[in-house]
Amino acid sequence: MTPLHKLSTKFSSPPTPSLNSNARCQWFAAAALVATTLAITSAAAEPLKISDFTLKNGLELVVIPDHRAPVVTHMIWYKVGSADETPGISGLAHFLEHLMFKGTAKNPTGHFSRVVATIGGQENAFTSNDYTAFYQRVPSEQLKTVMEFEADRMSGLQLTDAVVLPERNVILEEWNQRVGNNPRARLGEQIDAALFLNHPYGRPVIGWRQEMEQLNRDEALDFYRRFYGPNGAVVVIAGDVEPEQALKFAEETYGTAKRNDLIKPRHRPQEPPPVAVRSLTLADARVEQPFLQRTYLVPSFGTAQKGESEALEVLAHVLGSGSSSRLYRTLAVDKPVAVMAAAGYDSSALDMSKFTVYGSPRPGVALPQFEAEIDAVIADVIAKGVSADELERAKSRLIADATYAQDNQATMARWYGAALMTGASVQDVQRWPDRIRAVTAEQVQDAARKWLDKRRSVTGYLIKDTSPQVEKRS
Amino acid sequence: MTPLHKLSTKFSSPPTPSLNSNARCQWFAAAALVATTLAITSAAAEPLKISDFTLKNGLELVVIPDHRAPVVTHMIWYKVGSADETPGISGLAHFLEHLMFKGTAKNPTGHFSRVVATIGGQENAFTSNDYTAFYQRVPSEQLKTVMEFEADRMSGLQLTDAVVLPERNVILEEWNQRVGNNPRARLGEQIDAALFLNHPYGRPVIGWRQEMEQLNRDEALDFYRRFYGPNGAVVVIAGDVEPEQALKFAEETYGTAKRNDLIKPRHRPQEPPPVAVRSLTLADARVEQPFLQRTYLVPSFGTAQKGESEALEVLAHVLGSGSSSRLYRTLAVDKPVAVMAAAGYDSSALDMSKFTVYGSPRPGVALPQFEAEIDAVIADVIAKGVSADELERAKSRLIADATYAQDNQATMARWYGAALMTGASVQDVQRWPDRIRAVTAEQVQDAARKWLDKRRSVTGYLIKDTSPQVEKRS
């Protein structure tokens, strides 16, 4: 059991209850914060100087300086996630993340984790549709040590059935806890499956349970050999280290790894143009409060036309971020028909992404009425756009919120890593605040009109199952 | 242009309007007819003696005697359909079906078809999720000639961009006609995509248009080399030929082909247990009559417990076959709220299958009311079962209808071919009438209770799009 790395696995229950099963949104939030920070810092003080190197074997190294304390956060990101799995073998990317803790010839099971713990460090790992990442936060002088460990398990992983099979029980138990016993996660799983008709984002990151039950050693090693290697990896180091020093360590550790020629550019099956308005209802005896989630298929930063993704970020903020947002104000305060109502957009995905609106009606308000109220708020934004005041507040707030992010080394490392895994560059991240500042009210209205089209969406209803003899199917 | 073979492609518009895009239902009907015929014949006259051989290279040969006229129907069935395609390359099985008419070194493009036409024969081809088949109906003395042609193109296909690219335009035009310009087919496509969360049956047989546009020669040849070969084929010959003679011809033609070691048993990703009630709405300006289709995920003959598939066949008949069925009588005659209402079940699939209920409300009856009426009819069958009279009428009718099928050589060949492609045997087909006779009222009610659970279903609504400025997305 390596309890640490499974706790922050990417598809964990999200902070916002609806954006589950694929928690890329979490990254996005972090991303926005950090990117903005950079610009703010650059106005107020010395610009944050981020170094970006590529070793001969293809490994990319990003170094983010932070000298406030003698600590570094070291992350290695692999360009492989659940969307890269072979159909029928779902959950393998995440399973392999777990198995990466099972040791090599040089460092047997548990040794790496023990060393990190001994030096007072922290470690973790997470998997998303688009990437798998491992990280350690350690005293600066231990940086090279963890790089040696990571470089070793990049190609030296050894697996036996004796370690693989018990770990399979661990991920199955994880499924029970996170999906089987979590109706909102279940709802999110079903919405994703209905939203994506062809793209593998419709597949849960943790996997379909019946396929997880069959995962095995050979498949895991096969996947490992196909996707892991220096040319499929980005190392992000944030903290108290000089770039040249980090580069020297990288060359001495990762630099000796051989390029993996099996690693290819990722081309996933794409979506057909969406044409049908979809909905689904999940009834569960454990639901205490009905819940509605509508998810629209929208572009990510990487697939959007210039400015569209930024407009969607502002739109999500105006529509559904916080107590002064349109949805909350109208539905939870003015009317009030909602206990809660919000919206979110995830700009970070290698392929297309999602815009989500969600909420819970007050007791006595039926879901269809609640949905009609949500529709009216959306229709109003489409018809009349957002006010100059709303626009400015949203942009300022997005940028102001970001100021606080520079405080967190790991957040910075995560944002750059996630961006580089999904087709963006270090420069893209650094220009984020300027891109947000450039968004116009017209662009926000256009984005609402173009993308918040119900034919692009799935609406999920989570209701209490009150039937006395429900056949349990999960 | 080889206009013949594309006309009866398997996903053609079905006789029952709702069972589109995958017309396996058509086969099922044919199957039932023939299988029953055999049993009836066996009571009244000499049993129909069907021969089943396997050549050394793995090719299976089924010979069905029919000496009424000096004519034979020769069909070759390959164990490959759209569900065997690689994700992202959808439509390839069907595209290859078209390309199979592009000639070999020995028989250049068009030669085979010209010979068939010259001898007064007919030819055709079709593709489904589970198989691809080619057939000719020719004078008996020409049997060996067509076998030589088919054996030649089993491994000798030659393709150049000069023939591949124009044929791609042909299948794209086919998509326009059959899907793009056919709202009911579109509805069926969307329902399948929402019904199957993980299994490739969710992918349209004809393909997703954006992927069809990219299909090319290399992919087609690759697919051909991977799936075509004697050990992936069943030849069914119905007509005026002695089994030993047919076997001799087969050995002289197909018998010289080398086994293809790339052909493996087919294991597709399976469905997770369905948990969410799903629905979708497709609005189209061309719709004159609203239409509702509900499709449930149910077992096929091959995946069902003993007797379950037969009970579903009887259930579909009682519920929705003809003017004395529950749905038609209740909704179109007694109430009347329907213009039409019917049900169908397709027992023939390598993996799970579908049970469909569909209909159109009378003008003035809203779809939700119409759906509630359909639900009431289903709920009544679940609660009270079917009467002894209904049961007997359904079974007799299924078996009696079958009597007429023996008249059609091609129908017989198709049923055996389709059965052998989806995991059934010649014996399974021959025992079909006995299996239907054994169905009890209790089994029918159990099947309704167990399988007509809304959580297993997607309900599709097809409505007229009356918005003045609809953005066209297909």
- Chain B hits for A208, Cβ within 8 Å: 197-198, 269, 272
pLDDT per position as a tens digit, B230-288:
999 999 999 999 999 999 999 999 999 999 999 999 999 999 999 999 999 999 999 99
The string of pLDDT tens digits covering residues B382-416 is 999 999 999 999 999 998 876 677 678 888 899 89
Give the gap in angstroms from C-alpha A470 to the nearest C-alpha of chain B.
Answer: 11
* C-alpha span between B342 and B427 (Å, rounded): 30
Residue B190 to residue A460, Cβ atoms within 8 A: no
Give pLDDT tens digits for B21-57. 333 223 232 333 333 333 334 344 456 799 999 999 9
With bands split at pLDDT 50, 70 and 90, how would you rate the model's confidence at A406? Answer: low
Q: Mutating which of B212, B278, B297, B461 best tests the A interface, going by the most A Cβ atoms within 10 A?
A: B278
Q: How far is A432 from chain B (nearest CA, A)?
A: 31
The chain B residues in contact with chain A (CB within 8 A) are 87-88, 90, 186-187, 190, 193-194, 197-198, 200, 202-203, 208-211, 267-270, 272-283, 453, 455, 460, 471, 473-474
- As a whole-number percent, the residues of chain A with pLDDT over 70 amount to 88
Spatial distance between the Cα atoms of A367 and A358, rounded to a whole number of angstroms? 12
Nearest C-alpha in A relative to B451? A471
What pLDDT is stored for residue B466 in this prediction?
A: 86
Q: Residues of A near B (CB-CB distance < 8 A)?
A: 87-88, 90, 186-187, 190, 193-194, 197-198, 200, 202-203, 208-211, 267-270, 272-283, 453, 455, 460, 471, 473-474
Query: By C-alpha distance, which of B137, B135, B110 is closest to B125?
Result: B135
Please answer whether residues A273 and A279 qualify as being in contact, where contact means their C-beta atoms are separated by less than 8 angstroms: no
- A165 has pLDDT over 60: yes
Interatomic CA distance for residues A71 and A138, integer angstroms: 6
Closest Cα in chain B, distance from residue A195 (Å):
8
- Which of A125-134, A326-335, A452-461, B41-50 is predicted with the least confidence, judged by mean pLDDT? B41-50
Q: Specify the pTM.
A: 0.89
Residue A44: its pLDDT value, please? 43
For B128-283, where are the alpha helices, taking DSSP H only?
143-155, 161-175, 183-195, 209-212, 217-227, 243-252
Please answer yes or no on whether B276 and A280 come within 8 Å at the CB atom: yes
Torsion of CA B330, B333, B336, B342, to 10 degrees: 60
| Closest residue on chain B to A191 (Cα) | B276
Residue A446 has pLDDT above 80, yes or no: yes
Distance CA A48, CA A38 (A): 6
Residue B209: its chain A contacts at CB < 8 A? 272
Q: Which of A41-55, A204-218, B291-305 has the lowest mean pLDDT?
A: A41-55
Task: Measure in Å the smallest separation between the Cα of A412 and chain B Cα atoms.
Answer: 35
From the list A153, A126, A158, A133, the residue with the least C-alpha distance to A229 is: A153
Give the one of B88, B198, B210 whose C-beta lies nearest to A272's C-beta: B210
Q: What length does chain A have?
A: 474
Given a contact cutoff of 8 angstroms between Cβ atoms, the answer to whether B40 and B33 are in contact is no
Query: Do the Cβ atoms of A278 and B280 come within 8 Å?
Result: yes
Give the active site residue among B60, B85, B97, B167.
B97
Mean pLDDT of A96-118: 96
Is the sign of the CA dihedral A378, A383, A385, A386 positive or negative?
negative
Is residue B242 part of the annotated active site? The answer reads: no
Nearest to A276 among B190, B202, B209 (CB): B190
Q: What is the pLDDT of residues A282-294, one digit of tens each?
A: 999 999 999 999 9
Contact state of A277 with B277 under an 8 Å Cβ cutoff? no
Count of A-B CB contacts under 8 Å: 106
Q: Is the pLDDT of residue B114 over 90?
A: yes
* Residue range B175-205, pLDDT digits in tens: 999 999 999 999 999 999 999 999 999 999 9
Contact A193 B190 (CB under 8 A): no
Instruction: Identify the residue among B92, B195, B198, B291 best suited for mutation to test binding to A, counting A beta carbons within 10 A and taking the highest.
Output: B198
Which residue in this structure is represented by tokens 């059609």?
Answer: B408
pLDDT exceeds cutoff 60 at A15: no
Question: In whole angstroms, what is the distance from residue B307 CA to residue B396 CA?
Answer: 17
Tens-digit pLDDT profile for residues A367-383: 999 999 999 999 999 99
pLDDT digits (tens, 9 = 90+) for A302-319: 999 999 999 999 999 999
Q: Convert the pLDDT of each residue in B79-98 to its tens digit.
A: 999 999 999 999 999 999 99
Q: Name chain B contacts of A200, Cβ cutoff 8 Å.
A: 87
Of B90, B273, B278, the CB nearest to A473: B273
